[in-house]
Amino acid sequence: MGLLFHSVGGWVVLFVVVKIWERQSSGRVSRWLRSRNFSFYLGYVSWTTTRWNDWFARIGQQHRRWLNVWFSVGVGVGFLGLLASVVLLLGNLGLILGFLLEEVTGSRRNSIAWGRDAVDATMFMSGESQPARISAAVGHGRALLSQRMDVQSQNTSMMPVQNRHPIEDQAEDPRWQSFSTSGEHSILEQIMVAESMARHAAVAYEEAVRGRTGLITPLLPGVNLPKNQIWYILIALFASTIFHELGHALAAGAENLRVSGVAGFIALIFPGAFVQMVGIRELPTWRQLKVVCAGAWHNIIIAMACIASIASLPYLLLPVFSQNSELMIVGIPQGSSLLHHANSGDILLSVGSEPVQSRSSFFRALGKSKILNSSVGFWTYP
Give the pLDDT confidence of 68-79 residue by residue, as tens digits.
Answer: 999 999 999 999
Q: In one letter, which amino acid is 167?
A: I
Give pLDDT, residue 334: 73
Residue 20: pLDDT band (50, 70, 90) is confident
Q: What is the dihedral of CA 216, 221, 222, 228, to 10 degrees?
A: 130
Task: Answer whether 142's CB lies under 8 Å from 374's CB.
Answer: yes
Give pLDDT, residue 382: 38
Task: Answer whether 195's CB lies under 8 Å from 115's CB.
Answer: no
Residue 60 CA to residue 233 CA, distance in Å, equals: 31
Q: State the DSSP string of 278-311.
A: ESGGGS-HHHHHHHHHHHHHHHHHHHHHHHHHHH
Give pLDDT, residue 203: 59
Residue 283 CA to residue 376 CA, distance in Å, equals: 52
Q: What is the mean pLDDT of residues 347-369?
A: 76
CA angle 205, 207, 210 (to 5 degrees): 105
Give the pLDDT confidence of 308-330 residue by residue, as tens digits.
Answer: 998 888 788 777 766 666 777 77
Q: What is the mean pLDDT of residues 109-121?
A: 44
> How many Å separate Cα 171 from the centre of its chain?
41
H/E element holding 10? helix 2-24
Task: Answer whether 254's CB lies under 8 Å from 67's CB.
Answer: yes
Give the residues across from 262 on adjacent strands. Answer: 49, 275
- The pLDDT > 90 percentage for the chain reads 12
Residue 288 CA to residue 182 CA, distance in Å, equals: 75
Residues in the chain: 382
DSSP helix/strand/coil, 266? strand
Domain ranges of the chain: 1-42, 50-107+230-323, 114-220
Give pLDDT, residue 69: 92
User: Is the confidence at residue 113, as pLDDT, over 50?
Assistant: no
Task: Answer whether 186's CB lies under 8 Å from 111's CB.
Answer: no
Cα atoms in the 13 Å half-sphere on the side-chain side of 200 = 27
Residue 279: pLDDT band (50, 70, 90) is confident
Least trusted range by pLDDT, from 80-84, 202-206, 256-260: 202-206
User: Bigger pLDDT: 115 or 274?
Assistant: 274
Least trusted range by pLDDT, from 26-40, 146-160, 273-287, 319-333: 146-160
User: Is the confidence at residue 5, as pLDDT, over 60?
Assistant: yes
- The pLDDT > 70 percentage for the chain reads 63
Q: Which of 230, 208, 231 is nearest to 220 (CA)?
A: 230
pTM of the entire predicted model: 0.58
